[in-house]
Amino acid sequence: MRAPTELWEKLEGRVIEGKFPLRRWLGGSDHSAVFLTERSGEESQKAAIKLVSADTFDAETLDEDAQLSRWADTAMLSHPHLIRLFECGRTEIEGTRFLYVVMEYAEEDLAQILPQRPLSPEEVTEMLPPTAEALAFLHRAGFAHGRIKPSNIMAVENQLKISTDGLRKTGDIGDATETSAYAAPEVSTDGVSPAADVWSVGVMLVAVLTQHEPKLSDGDRGQVTVPETISEPFREIARQCLHADPWKRSSVSDILSKVQAQEPTEAHAVEDRMPKERTKLWVVAPIAAVLLLAAALIGSRFIGRQPRIPPAETPPSESQTVPADAPAAQSQAPFAEKVKPARTAEARGSVLQQVLPDVSRSAQNTITGRVKVNVRVAVDASGNVSQATVTPVVQSKYFAKQALAAARRWKFNPPQVNGQATSSEWLLRFQFGRMSTQVFPSEINP
């Protein structure tokens, strides 16, 4: 069944299996459509439901039972950067059979951002680690994604996740008619694989940094040109991902290592104290534009359940005194909140005492990668924090609460304007990891 858009939209208002209302059509193709729905429970929860025409399945490649089994296997996976699948099954609408899968609802996907602008290198540095970590998890579990591209990089409550409704077992043969640049040259004959996913990452890197998919050399899908205009290390990462020979491609671990080499290290945090503030992740920047876009953000809340962080008892917080003359870096984040033009200061402010958040070991053990919390503080002329607020985008309420409590106890040397101590504003960027907690302060006003 090939269903035009107007036909899919007519399904709005139907209820699947008596429990999943089709609230709003979000998008799709000739053979499938995604609708906003909700899951009942103690309280209604937004979700997305994908309908796939049963006519799509061919017993020679993948039958209905095999697809349902694949979705059921995927639902067992659990990772914070994977869209979570809840339920799947069969249904019939006016004599037409469909398979359906219910999954996390994502507010936006990366494909919605690219028509407006490319990602900055800082944003790509934020995007790649969770993407690579999720792929590494899938590869260890015997799965390949097979469809890594901007439309499958999603945001769920401001956390980046990758789609999971199309996962396949490593070695499953792909579509021989696939002509997308995101499909590795060998997929149609050798099947999906970790190496094929790496190819897709390389294509996506070029696409998000240039707003264009890479060009194929003389129509040969095994030869891809990486534009010279792409900055390092991303140009080299893309080149290593796009080898025609899958055995010569980077691994996702290699990608992670190269990106993490760009991250501020704990040693730098101690020595420099005031590293330059990085650009916010793309999912938090274009909020106004997102409201005007069609409602499906980067996908749905993929696979695994995000670990719940228990509010356990914690030991007393550490206090650490910072040299009074430590320099403060001016914020360069293009999407940070706008502040009043800086006044001319005779002497910039600096951190006098920083307090690290109280975080229990059990909470730290739930972290995969890093949990980031930005706290904006207003500092009075005596150097005390008068107000502290968490920026709207947070990954965890627990860690946000701990960061906020710590930020209120910081002390500062106030900046001097015309020889007088004056008030200031700071952005404190907390990064929680399994082994340590780091904080990167930046004076943003004056």
Q: Is 118 helix (H, G, I), strand (E, B) or coil?
A: coil
- If you average pLDDT over residues 55-60, what whole number do you get? 65
Both 321 and 436 in one domain: the answer is yes
* Residue 304 belongs to some domain of the structure: no
What secondary structure letter does DSSP report for 62? Answer: B
Q: CB-based contacts of 6: which residues, under 8 Å, 6+ apart? A: none
Ramachandran region, residue 236 (left: φ > 0; alpha: ψ -120 to 50; beta: rest): alpha
Band of residue 289 on the pLDDT scale cut at 50, 70, 90: very low
**193/170 Cα distance (integer angstroms):** 5
Band of residue 100 on the pLDDT scale cut at 50, 70, 90: very high
Q: Is 136 helix (H, G, I), strand (E, B) or coil?
A: helix
What secondary structure letter does DSSP report for 112? Answer: G
Q: Is 180 helix (H, G, I), strand (E, B) or coil?
A: coil
Here the tokens at position 402 are 């701990």
Q: What percent of the chain has pLDDT over 70?
A: 73
Residue at which a domain ends, from 223, 238, 260: 260
- Is the pLDDT at 17 greater than 50? The verdict is yes
Instruction: Give the pLDDT of residue 367.
Output: 80
Identify whether the C-beta of residue 252 lies closer than 8 Å to the C-beta of residue 136. yes
Both 158 and 240 in one domain: the answer is yes
Both 379 and 428 in one domain: the answer is yes
Amino acid identity of residue 395, one-letter, is Q
Please report the beta strands in 238-279, taking only residues with DSSP state E, as ranges in sequence order: none
Averaging pLDDT over each range in 190-204, 342-356, 418-432, which range is the top one? 190-204
Neighbour order of strands in the sheet with 24-28: 24-28, 32-39, 45-53, 96-104, 85-93
Both 59 and 114 in one domain: the answer is no
Both 52 and 168 in one domain: the answer is no
- Is the pLDDT at 400 greater than 60? The verdict is yes
Band of residue 395 on the pLDDT scale cut at 50, 70, 90: low
Between vectors from CA 72 to CA 12 and to CA 97, what angle results, nearest 5°? 40
Both 369 and 401 in one domain: the answer is yes
Identify whether the C-beta of residue 224 lies closer than 8 Å to the C-beta of residue 205. no
pLDDT tens profile 303-360: 333 333 333 333 333 334 444 333 333 333 332 333 334 444 468 888 888 888 888 8
* Residue 284 belongs to some domain of the structure: no
Which CATH number belongs to the domain containing residue 201 in this structure? 1.10.510.10
Least confident range of 242-246, 247-251, 270-274, 390-394: 270-274
Both 323 and 391 in one domain: the answer is yes
Instruction: Give the pLDDT of residue 75.
Output: 93
Here the tokens at position 358 are 């109280």
Both 256 and 203 in one domain: the answer is yes
Identify whether the C-beta of residue 360 lies closer than 8 Å to the C-beta of residue 314. yes
Instruction: Give the pLDDT of residue 279.
Output: 34
* Residue 293 belongs to some domain of the structure: no
Closest C-alpha among 280, 293, 252 to residue 151: 293
Helix axes 252-260, 234-241, angle to 10 degrees: 170
* Residue 269 belongs to some domain of the structure: no
Instruction: Give the pLDDT of residue 259.
Output: 83
Closest C-alpha among 309, 428, 430 to residue 372: 430
Domain residue limits at 30: 5-105
Both 45 and 146 in one domain: the answer is no
Q: Is 126 helix (H, G, I), strand (E, B) or coil?
A: helix
Identify whether the C-beta of residue 427 lies closer than 8 Å to the C-beta of residue 375. yes
* Residue 267 belongs to some domain of the structure: no
* Residue 300 belongs to some domain of the structure: no
Instruction: Give the pLDDT of residue 239.
Output: 92
Query: What is the total count of domains within the chain?
Result: 3
Which CATH number belongs to the domain containing residue 9 in this structure? 3.30.200.20
Residue at which a domain ends, from 244, 260, 276: 260
- Is the pLDDT at 412 greater than 80? The verdict is yes
Amino acid identity of residue 258, one-letter, is K
Identify whether the C-beta of residue 239 lies closer than 8 Å to the C-beta of residue 206. no
Q: Is 277 helix (H, G, I), strand (E, B) or coil?
A: coil
* Residue 11 belongs to some domain of the structure: yes
Band of residue 396 on the pLDDT scale cut at 50, 70, 90: confident
What pTM was computed for the model? 0.60
* Residue 292 belongs to some domain of the structure: no
Residue at which a domain ends, from 222, 243, 260: 260
Both 340 and 232 in one domain: the answer is no
Q: Tally the C-alpha atoms within 13 A of residue 209's C-alpha that lie toward its C-beta.
A: 25
- Is the pLDDT at 265 greater than 50? The verdict is no
φ and ψ of 38, to 5 deg: -150, 150
φ and ψ of 85, to 5 deg: -95, 135
* DSSP assignment of 378-442: EE-TTSBEEEEEE-S--S-HHHHHHHHHHHTT-EEE--EETTEE--EEEEEEEEE-SS-EEEEEE
Both 84 and 127 in one domain: the answer is no
Both 178 and 165 in one domain: the answer is yes
